[in-house]
A and B are shown apart, each in its own frame.
Chain A
Amino acid sequence: DGGITQSPKYLFRKEGQNVTLSCEQNLNHDAMYWYRQDPGQGLRLIYYSQIVNDFQKGDIAEGYSVSREKKESFPLTVTSAQKNPTAFYLCASRAGGFTEAFFGQGTRLTVV
């Protein structure tokens, strides 16, 4: 089945730790995205990548980092510099142009 897989579904982080959220797609999509969702808020764009080995900051990139070494994979690292990382993180991909984005099931990150 084609789709987007995010792991883990739940993640707990201690203060001062970096954590990496995984996102893998087998849709052969060029573009991939990371969004953050907070309660009662819409989705805010963290980073996006339109092609392998290239990525761009979104609206709230501070405290996050990404890599795009393979077309299928777009991991997100939440660094200790992110002061309020507790949120729901969604990964998406799309084929390009004005096509719709497809989303993974999300990772809920909690700082303990």
Chain B
Amino acid sequence: AQKVTQAQTEISVVEKEDVTLDCVYETRDTTYYLFWYKQPPSGELVFLIRRNSFDEQNEISGRYSWNFQKSTSSFNFTITASQVVDSAVYFCALRTYSGGGADGLTFGKGTHLIIQP
């Protein structure tokens, strides 16, 4: 069985601060993919990034960066110089080759990020 843990239920920071959202996953599979999604107040989940288990390079996209470490089973997401528009719920998700018996993504419970002006 697979599991995704986002221990931070809610984070509140002041605009322009850097913030890191933690994601820890569990799987016995050696082939898997990790994802981050953003859910703004409108409700739609917006895809941010996909990372496969064989690629441990960190990725940077503008103010967003992701740190994937297989040794600690973590796939953390950092927002640099946060902005009010970053306020949303962020979900980490896992998909394995075996699917764990059911297709689809295994989601964490999400981290509610609040950026205060």
Which A residues form the contact surface with B (CB < 8 A)?
31, 33, 35, 40-45, 48, 50, 56-59, 88, 90, 92, 98-106, 108
Question: Which residues in A have their C-beta under 8 angstroms from that of B105?
Answer: 43, 45, 101
Smallest beta-carbon distance B51→chain A, Å? 10
Query: Does B85 sit at the interface, judged by CB under 8 A?
Result: no
Which B residues form the contact surface with A (CB < 8 A)?
4, 9, 33, 35, 37, 42-47, 50, 52, 91, 95, 102-105, 107-110
Contact at A48–B102, with CB atoms within 8 Å?
Answer: yes
A110 to B16: give the CA distance in the assembly, Å: 38
A56 to B109: give the CA distance in the assembly, Å: 23
A9 to B33: give the CA distance in the assembly, Å: 31
When A40-B109, A41-B109, A43-B91 are in contact, do A105 and B104 touch as well, CB less than 8 Å?
no
When A31-B103, A42-B107, A45-B102 are in contact, do A100 and B43 touch as well, CB less than 8 Å?
no
Contact at B103–A48, with CB atoms within 8 Å?
Answer: yes
Q: How many A-B pairs with Cβ below 8 Å?
A: 61
Question: Which residues in B have their C-beta under 8 angstroms from that of A41?
Answer: 109-110
Contact at B52–A50, with CB atoms within 8 Å?
Answer: no
A88 to B39: give the CA distance in the assembly, Å: 12
Nearest B-chain residue to A3, judged by Cβ: B44
Nearest A-chain residue to B110, judged by Cβ: A42
A38 to B43: give the CA distance in the assembly, Å: 12
Task: Beyond the given A41-B109, A58-B102, A98-B52, please list 14 additional residue pairs across the A-B interface where CB-CB is below 8 A.
Answer: A33-B103, A35-B104, A40-B109, A42-B4, A44-B107, A45-B102, A57-B102, A98-B50, A98-B95, A101-B47, A101-B105, A103-B45, A105-B42, A108-B43
**What are 26 A-B pairs with beta-carbon distances under 8 A?**
A31-B103, A33-B103, A33-B104, A35-B104, A40-B109, A41-B109, A41-B110, A42-B4, A43-B91, A44-B107, A45-B102, A45-B103, A45-B105, A56-B103, A58-B104, A59-B102, A90-B45, A92-B45, A98-B33, A98-B50, A101-B47, A101-B105, A103-B44, A104-B44, A105-B44, A106-B44
Among A35, A92, A103, A105, the most chain B Cβ lie within 10 Å of the Cβ of: A103
A92 to B91: give the CA distance in the assembly, Å: 15
